Each structure stands twice: as C-alpha cells, then as structure tokens.
Amino acid sequence: MKNLLGMHSVLKRTRKNKLKKENKIMNMSLLSALSRITNKVENLYSRKGSLQVTSLEAIGLLNGTNAITPVDPNYLVTTTAMKVGAYTIAAQPKGSHVVTVTHTKVAALDTLGIITVVGTDSDGAAVTEIITPTDSATVTGLLGFETITSITGSGWVITGEDNDTLVVGVGAIMPPVGKYIYKITCETTAVVASETFVSGSAGPKLSSLAGLVAGHAYYGSWSSITMTSGEAIAYYNVL
C-alpha cells in the first residue's frame, strides 16, 4: 500500500513538473521582438522572473518607416518665373525631407518676398514653413515634409521687365519633430554627403564611407542625413 502511495506521489510530481515545463515553454514562446542584430523576430527569455528587454530601437518599426531619396533642387517645383500666387507642384517627396528654395537673378534683382510651404510630416501632422529666398542662393528649410499641399509666393515685386526665377526641391532627410533616425537600410548603393547626430551621439559617420552598400543596414542616432545618390529606407524612433 505504501509502495502504491509512493508511486502515486512520484507520478503526481512528475505530471506537475511536466505541466510547469510546458507552461513555461508556452509563455516564453509568446514573448518575441525584432532583434536589432539579426533584424528578425526572435524569442525572448527571462531569468529569475526578470525579462531582459532590448533597447527602444528594437521597436522602431512602430514609430515610422519611410523611403528616402537624394537631394534634388528642382524636385518639387521646376524652374519657373517668380510670382505672387501658388506654384505648380511637380512631384511629392519620398519620405520626410526638408524643402530647399533656390533663386536665380534675371537682370535687376527683384524684391523676393517669401515662400510658404504647407503639407504634412511622416506622422501625418500638419506642417507649415515660411522660407525667405536669398539672392542667387539656396535656402534650406528646417522642417521635414512627406507630403506637400501647396507652395505659395507672396511679397514678390518685379524690378525691370524680367521676372527672377526659382526652383523648389528636397534636401536632407528630416524625421518628424520629437523623433530621430536610428537605422538606414540601403536599397541601392548610396552616398551620404553629410549628417547631423542627435545631441550626445557620435557615429557611425556615414559620410566617411565611400558608399552605403545595397542590402546593408546602418545603425546610429541621426537628426538629419543628406544623401547625394542612391535610395534607402529610414527608420524613425521617439527621442
């Protein structure tokens, strides 16, 4: 009888241990995240009841992903005579870029006035920026636009008989306010001309490379990146 009771107790403990092990495996298999190292979904394991969580960059995909293209000075508005009124928008930005306005003087310098750009950022928030053209120079805005609703000139006054001209384009990749670029995945071989790092961060310096290799990913903390060729995808995260 004692032997039977002892056997029953052993079987009971074995069954409990098996159930605990199965539950543990089940619970652990439900914990997963995108690995920054492998760029794949990986299982997470906890030790002594403490879950080891990776950095915020691991969930960056939830905070914005956009295709980006090189600097193009006449991407938005091709060469046209300056005027008071709306300019024709030639194309929409690919990704979140700052806007550039380049002026060309024709004979005597006109009174240049201002250019008002209206659109949205990559979070869908409304963005408006006023850019003041400068004689025979390129002026770069400070805000990132992913869509452009309108580009309007005001305050312009002609001097003489011929209008000065301008073009409006896209410049550096600029994440929305409150976010930063933590990863660049190169689609085609790309060249980075310059970059700005988030305060307190330094590197890796993409501009020091001969080119970004297609299919490779580059990690860092950038507030802006200026590409002169190629195409890539930028991943944004919250500061």
pLDDT digits 0-9 by tens, 207-220: 999 999 999 999 99
**Digit-coded pLDDT (tens) for 143-187:** 999 999 999 999 999 998 999 999 999 999 888 888 889 889 998
What is the spatial distance between Cα 220 and Cα 180, in angstroms, rounded to a whole number? 9
Peptide bond into 204 cis (omega under 30): yes
Tell me the whole-structure pTM to 2 decimals.
0.71
Looking at the predicted structure, is the pLDDT value of residue 116 above 80? yes
Do 52 and 66 meet the contact criterion of CB atoms below 8 Å apart? no
Asked whether the CA dihedral 184, 185, 186, 187 is positive or negative, the reply is: negative
**Digit-coded pLDDT (tens) for 58-94:** 344 444 556 777 899 999 999 999 999 999 999 998 8
Tell me the pLDDT of the chain averaged across its residues.
Answer: 80
Do 105 and 181 meet the contact criterion of CB atoms below 8 Å apart? no
**Digit-coded pLDDT (tens) for 188-197:** 899 999 999 9
Phi-psi region of 160 (alpha: psi -120 to 50; beta: other; left: phi over 0): left
**Digit-coded pLDDT (tens) for 3-14:** 444 444 544 555
